[in-house]
Amino acid sequence: MQFGVSTFLWASPFSTKSFDLVYKIKDMGFDIIEVAVENRDLIDWVKLKEIVKDTGLQVTISGAFGPERDISSNDPAIRAKGLSYITDCISIARDMGSPIFGGPVYSAVGKTRFISDDQKKRERGWCIENLIKVGKFAEDNGIIVGLEPLNRFETDMINTADQAISLVKETGHPNIKIQLDTFHCNIEEKSIPETIRKIGKDLLCHIQGNESDRGTPGTGNVDWVGIRDALIDIEYDRAIVIETFGEVSEEIARAASIWRPLANSSDELAIEGLQFYKKLFSN
Protein backbone atom coordinates (compact mmCIF):
# COMPACT_ATOMS: atom_id res chain seq x y z
CA MET A 1 0.00 0.00 0.00
CA GLN A 2 1.18 3.51 -0.81
CA PHE A 3 0.21 6.42 1.44
CA GLY A 4 -0.44 9.96 0.28
CA VAL A 5 -1.85 13.31 1.31
CA SER A 6 -3.67 16.02 -0.61
CA THR A 7 -2.44 19.57 -1.04
CA PHE A 8 -5.95 20.60 0.08
CA LEU A 9 -4.80 19.99 3.66
CA TRP A 10 -2.54 23.06 3.51
CA ALA A 11 -3.37 25.18 0.47
CA SER A 12 -6.42 26.26 -1.50
CA PRO A 13 -5.70 26.95 -4.23
CA PHE A 14 -2.39 25.10 -4.55
CA SER A 15 0.10 27.24 -6.50
CA THR A 16 3.78 27.67 -7.26
CA LYS A 17 4.04 29.59 -3.97
CA SER A 18 3.03 26.34 -2.22
CA PHE A 19 5.91 24.20 -3.53
CA ASP A 20 7.58 23.98 -0.10
CA LEU A 21 4.77 21.52 0.69
CA VAL A 22 6.44 18.95 -1.55
CA TYR A 23 9.46 18.80 0.74
CA LYS A 24 7.30 18.84 3.87
CA ILE A 25 5.18 15.94 2.62
CA LYS A 26 8.31 13.96 1.74
CA ASP A 27 9.90 14.66 5.13
CA MET A 28 6.73 13.46 6.88
CA GLY A 29 7.20 10.07 5.24
CA PHE A 30 4.43 10.01 2.62
CA ASP A 31 4.85 8.20 -0.69
CA ILE A 32 2.45 10.38 -2.68
CA ILE A 33 1.49 14.03 -3.01
CA GLU A 34 -2.03 14.44 -4.33
CA VAL A 35 -2.22 17.73 -6.21
CA ALA A 36 -5.64 19.37 -6.30
CA VAL A 37 -6.06 21.40 -9.49
CA GLU A 38 -8.21 24.40 -8.66
CA ASN A 39 -6.46 26.72 -11.12
CA ARG A 40 -3.87 25.12 -13.38
CA ASP A 41 -2.42 28.51 -14.37
CA LEU A 42 -1.26 29.18 -10.80
CA ILE A 43 1.10 26.18 -10.97
CA ASP A 44 4.46 25.97 -12.72
CA TRP A 45 4.05 22.34 -13.73
CA VAL A 46 7.54 21.95 -15.20
CA LYS A 47 9.11 23.17 -11.95
CA LEU A 48 6.77 21.03 -9.85
CA LYS A 49 7.71 17.93 -11.83
CA GLU A 50 11.40 18.65 -11.23
CA ILE A 51 10.88 19.08 -7.48
CA VAL A 52 8.76 15.95 -7.19
CA LYS A 53 11.37 13.96 -9.09
CA ASP A 54 14.11 15.24 -6.78
CA THR A 55 12.18 14.16 -3.68
CA GLY A 56 11.19 10.76 -5.05
CA LEU A 57 7.52 11.36 -4.33
CA GLN A 58 4.84 10.03 -6.62
CA VAL A 59 1.93 12.20 -7.78
CA THR A 60 -1.80 11.77 -8.10
CA ILE A 61 -4.02 14.47 -9.56
CA SER A 62 -7.46 15.39 -8.24
CA GLY A 63 -10.12 17.80 -9.44
CA ALA A 64 -12.09 20.69 -7.97
CA PHE A 65 -15.54 20.90 -9.51
CA GLY A 66 -17.15 24.28 -9.12
CA PRO A 67 -20.35 25.34 -10.91
CA GLU A 68 -18.47 26.28 -14.10
CA ARG A 69 -17.12 22.71 -14.49
CA ASP A 70 -20.36 20.77 -14.63
CA ILE A 71 -20.60 18.34 -17.55
CA SER A 72 -24.26 17.67 -16.71
CA SER A 73 -25.32 21.34 -16.67
CA ASN A 74 -28.35 22.66 -18.55
CA ASP A 75 -26.02 25.19 -20.14
CA PRO A 76 -24.00 23.77 -23.06
CA ALA A 77 -21.29 26.39 -22.54
CA ILE A 78 -20.77 25.19 -18.96
CA ARG A 79 -20.74 21.56 -20.11
CA ALA A 80 -18.03 22.47 -22.61
CA LYS A 81 -16.00 24.20 -19.90
CA GLY A 82 -16.34 21.15 -17.68
CA LEU A 83 -15.17 18.83 -20.42
CA SER A 84 -12.23 21.13 -21.20
CA TYR A 85 -11.24 21.20 -17.51
CA ILE A 86 -11.34 17.41 -17.24
CA THR A 87 -9.27 16.87 -20.37
CA ASP A 88 -6.78 19.51 -19.18
CA CYS A 89 -6.43 17.63 -15.89
CA ILE A 90 -5.96 14.33 -17.70
CA SER A 91 -3.14 15.92 -19.70
CA ILE A 92 -1.62 17.22 -16.46
CA ALA A 93 -1.87 13.74 -14.93
CA ARG A 94 -0.09 12.28 -17.96
CA ASP A 95 2.69 14.87 -17.82
CA MET A 96 3.13 14.51 -14.04
CA GLY A 97 3.22 10.71 -14.10
CA SER A 98 -0.05 10.30 -12.22
CA PRO A 99 -1.90 7.07 -13.07
CA ILE A 100 -5.25 8.65 -12.27
CA PHE A 101 -7.34 11.79 -12.31
CA GLY A 102 -10.13 11.62 -9.74
CA GLY A 103 -13.11 13.47 -8.35
CA PRO A 104 -16.85 14.01 -8.83
CA VAL A 105 -16.36 14.39 -12.56
CA TYR A 106 -20.08 13.98 -13.30
CA SER A 107 -21.37 17.25 -11.82
CA ALA A 108 -20.60 20.30 -9.67
CA VAL A 109 -19.96 19.99 -5.94
CA GLY A 110 -22.75 21.65 -3.97
CA LYS A 111 -25.36 21.07 -6.69
CA THR A 112 -28.26 19.75 -4.61
CA ARG A 113 -31.85 20.20 -5.86
CA PHE A 114 -35.17 18.44 -6.00
CA ILE A 115 -35.78 17.95 -9.73
CA SER A 116 -38.10 15.94 -11.94
CA ASP A 117 -37.27 12.51 -13.31
CA ASP A 118 -37.22 14.00 -16.81
CA GLN A 119 -34.63 16.55 -15.78
CA LYS A 120 -32.56 13.84 -14.09
CA LYS A 121 -32.61 11.84 -17.33
CA ARG A 122 -31.53 14.87 -19.36
CA GLU A 123 -28.65 15.64 -17.02
CA ARG A 124 -27.56 12.01 -16.93
CA GLY A 125 -27.63 11.95 -20.71
CA TRP A 126 -25.38 15.00 -20.96
CA CYS A 127 -23.10 13.51 -18.32
CA ILE A 128 -22.75 10.19 -20.16
CA GLU A 129 -22.22 11.92 -23.48
CA ASN A 130 -19.28 13.81 -22.00
CA LEU A 131 -17.91 10.89 -19.99
CA ILE A 132 -17.66 8.83 -23.17
CA LYS A 133 -15.47 11.61 -24.61
CA VAL A 134 -13.50 11.72 -21.35
CA GLY A 135 -12.97 7.95 -21.45
CA LYS A 136 -11.58 8.07 -24.97
CA PHE A 137 -9.27 10.97 -24.13
CA ALA A 138 -8.12 9.22 -20.95
CA GLU A 139 -7.40 6.01 -22.87
CA ASP A 140 -5.39 7.93 -25.47
CA ASN A 141 -3.30 9.43 -22.66
CA GLY A 142 -2.92 6.30 -20.51
CA ILE A 143 -4.89 7.69 -17.55
CA ILE A 144 -7.67 6.20 -15.43
CA VAL A 145 -10.49 8.57 -14.41
CA GLY A 146 -11.81 7.88 -10.91
CA LEU A 147 -15.48 8.77 -10.55
CA GLU A 148 -16.13 9.66 -6.90
CA PRO A 149 -19.54 9.40 -5.17
CA LEU A 150 -20.23 12.28 -2.78
CA ASN A 151 -22.61 12.47 0.13
CA ARG A 152 -26.16 13.77 -0.27
CA PHE A 153 -25.27 17.20 1.11
CA GLU A 154 -22.73 17.83 -1.67
CA THR A 155 -24.44 16.37 -4.74
CA ASP A 156 -27.84 15.11 -5.81
CA MET A 157 -26.44 12.92 -8.60
CA ILE A 158 -24.09 10.15 -7.41
CA ASN A 159 -24.16 9.39 -3.67
CA THR A 160 -23.56 5.64 -3.48
CA ALA A 161 -21.29 3.02 -4.97
CA ASP A 162 -24.31 1.39 -6.64
CA GLN A 163 -25.08 4.64 -8.43
CA ALA A 164 -21.45 5.03 -9.42
CA ILE A 165 -21.26 1.47 -10.74
CA SER A 166 -24.42 2.06 -12.77
CA LEU A 167 -23.04 5.26 -14.31
CA VAL A 168 -19.65 3.68 -15.06
CA LYS A 169 -21.35 0.71 -16.73
CA GLU A 170 -23.62 2.97 -18.76
CA THR A 171 -20.60 4.97 -19.88
CA GLY A 172 -19.06 1.70 -20.97
CA HIS A 173 -15.41 2.73 -21.04
CA PRO A 174 -12.61 0.78 -19.34
CA ASN A 175 -10.75 3.98 -18.41
CA ILE A 176 -13.65 5.25 -16.28
CA LYS A 177 -13.49 3.59 -12.86
CA ILE A 178 -14.47 4.39 -9.26
CA GLN A 179 -12.66 6.36 -6.57
CA LEU A 180 -13.95 6.04 -3.00
CA ASP A 181 -13.77 8.58 -0.19
CA THR A 182 -14.47 6.93 3.16
CA PHE A 183 -15.91 10.18 4.58
CA HIS A 184 -18.71 10.13 1.99
CA CYS A 185 -19.11 6.35 2.28
CA ASN A 186 -19.54 6.64 6.04
CA ILE A 187 -22.64 8.76 5.41
CA GLU A 188 -24.16 6.91 2.46
CA GLU A 189 -23.18 3.23 2.63
CA LYS A 190 -24.52 0.54 4.98
CA SER A 191 -21.08 -1.07 5.14
CA ILE A 192 -17.89 0.40 3.70
CA PRO A 193 -16.09 -2.98 3.65
CA GLU A 194 -18.93 -4.61 1.70
CA THR A 195 -19.00 -1.62 -0.64
CA ILE A 196 -15.30 -2.13 -1.37
CA ARG A 197 -15.87 -5.82 -2.04
CA LYS A 198 -18.82 -5.02 -4.31
CA ILE A 199 -16.78 -2.62 -6.44
CA GLY A 200 -13.85 -5.02 -6.56
CA LYS A 201 -10.26 -4.74 -7.70
CA ASP A 202 -11.07 -4.16 -11.37
CA LEU A 203 -13.22 -1.07 -10.77
CA LEU A 204 -11.69 0.46 -7.62
CA CYS A 205 -8.85 2.72 -8.75
CA HIS A 206 -8.20 4.99 -5.76
CA ILE A 207 -9.02 5.44 -2.07
CA GLN A 208 -9.23 8.70 -0.16
CA GLY A 209 -9.11 7.44 3.41
CA ASN A 210 -10.83 10.10 5.50
CA GLU A 211 -12.38 10.12 8.95
CA SER A 212 -16.09 10.47 9.77
CA ASP A 213 -15.64 14.18 10.60
CA ARG A 214 -12.94 14.79 7.97
CA GLY A 215 -10.45 15.03 10.84
CA THR A 216 -7.47 12.82 11.63
CA PRO A 217 -7.87 9.23 10.39
CA GLY A 218 -8.35 6.84 13.29
CA THR A 219 -10.02 9.33 15.64
CA GLY A 220 -13.66 8.91 14.57
CA ASN A 221 -16.18 6.16 13.85
CA VAL A 222 -15.05 4.88 10.44
CA ASP A 223 -14.62 1.06 10.34
CA TRP A 224 -10.92 1.12 9.50
CA VAL A 225 -10.20 -2.51 10.36
CA GLY A 226 -13.08 -3.61 8.15
CA ILE A 227 -11.83 -1.35 5.35
CA ARG A 228 -8.31 -2.76 5.64
CA ASP A 229 -9.59 -6.32 5.54
CA ALA A 230 -11.79 -5.61 2.51
CA LEU A 231 -8.91 -4.00 0.63
CA ILE A 232 -6.77 -7.04 1.39
CA ASP A 233 -9.59 -9.34 0.25
CA ILE A 234 -9.82 -7.68 -3.18
CA GLU A 235 -6.00 -7.44 -3.41
CA TYR A 236 -6.06 -3.65 -3.68
CA ASP A 237 -2.47 -2.46 -4.02
CA ARG A 238 -2.80 1.17 -5.04
CA ALA A 239 -2.92 4.39 -3.02
CA ILE A 240 -4.74 5.48 0.10
CA VAL A 241 -4.66 9.24 0.49
CA ILE A 242 -5.70 11.70 3.20
CA GLU A 243 -7.87 14.32 1.51
CA THR A 244 -9.24 16.86 3.91
CA PHE A 245 -9.13 20.61 4.22
CA GLY A 246 -6.98 22.97 6.27
CA GLU A 247 -6.76 26.48 4.83
CA VAL A 248 -9.97 26.47 2.83
CA SER A 249 -11.01 28.91 0.15
CA GLU A 250 -14.49 30.44 0.33
CA GLU A 251 -15.64 28.20 -2.53
CA ILE A 252 -14.35 25.01 -0.89
CA ALA A 253 -15.82 26.01 2.48
CA ARG A 254 -19.27 26.45 0.94
CA ALA A 255 -19.13 23.32 -1.21
CA ALA A 256 -17.83 21.01 1.53
CA SER A 257 -19.43 22.79 4.52
CA ILE A 258 -16.14 23.28 6.36
CA TRP A 259 -16.83 25.85 9.09
CA ARG A 260 -14.32 24.92 11.81
CA PRO A 261 -10.78 23.58 12.17
CA LEU A 262 -10.65 19.80 11.73
CA ALA A 263 -7.52 19.32 13.86
CA ASN A 264 -5.10 21.37 15.94
CA SER A 265 -3.05 21.89 12.78
CA SER A 266 -2.74 20.55 9.27
CA ASP A 267 0.73 19.20 10.07
CA GLU A 268 -0.58 17.31 13.10
CA LEU A 269 -3.43 15.81 11.10
CA ALA A 270 -1.05 14.64 8.37
CA ILE A 271 1.59 13.21 10.72
CA GLU A 272 -0.87 11.42 12.99
CA GLY A 273 -2.96 10.25 10.03
CA LEU A 274 0.09 8.70 8.37
CA GLN A 275 1.12 7.02 11.63
CA PHE A 276 -2.36 5.54 11.86
CA TYR A 277 -2.29 4.31 8.25
CA LYS A 278 1.07 2.62 8.75
CA LYS A 279 0.01 0.94 11.98
CA LEU A 280 -3.30 -0.18 10.47
CA PHE A 281 -1.77 -1.76 7.40
CA SER A 282 1.16 -3.32 9.25
CA ASN A 283 -1.19 -5.67 11.14
pLDDT at 204: 98
Other CB atoms within a 10 A radius of the CB of residue 74 amount to 11
- Residue 170 annotated as catalytic: no
Buried b (16+ CB within 10 A) or exposed e, 124-143: bebbbebbeebbebbbeeeb
- Helix (H), strand (E) counts: the chain: 10, 8
Report CA torsion sign: 99, 139, 36, 215.
negative
* Residue 125 DSSP SS3: helix
Going from the first residue of the chain to its last (283 residues), give the mean pLDDT of each consecutive group of 10, the final group possibly shorter: 96 96 98 97 98 98 97 98 98 98 97 96 98 98 98 97 98 97 98 98 98 96 98 97 82 72 89 98 86
Structural domain boundaries enclosing 163: 2-282
Q: Whole-prediction pTM value?
A: 0.95
Catalytic residue among 148, 188, 189, 211: 148
Which residue in the list 123, 188, 211, 243 is annotated as catalytic? 243
| 140 Cβ contact list (under 8 Å, min separation 6) | none
Structural domains counted in the chain: 1
Q: Report the CATH number at residue 35.
A: 3.20.20.150
How much is the pLDDT for 248? 64
**Is 247 known to be catalytic?**
no
Instruction: Give 258: exposed, middle or buried? Use CB within 10 Å, 0-12, 13-18, 19+.
Output: middle
275 neighbors 224 (Cβ within 8 angstroms): no
pLDDT at position 258: 74
| Entry field: residues in the chain | 283
Strand, helix or coil at 246?
A: coil
The per-residue pLDDT for 257 is 73
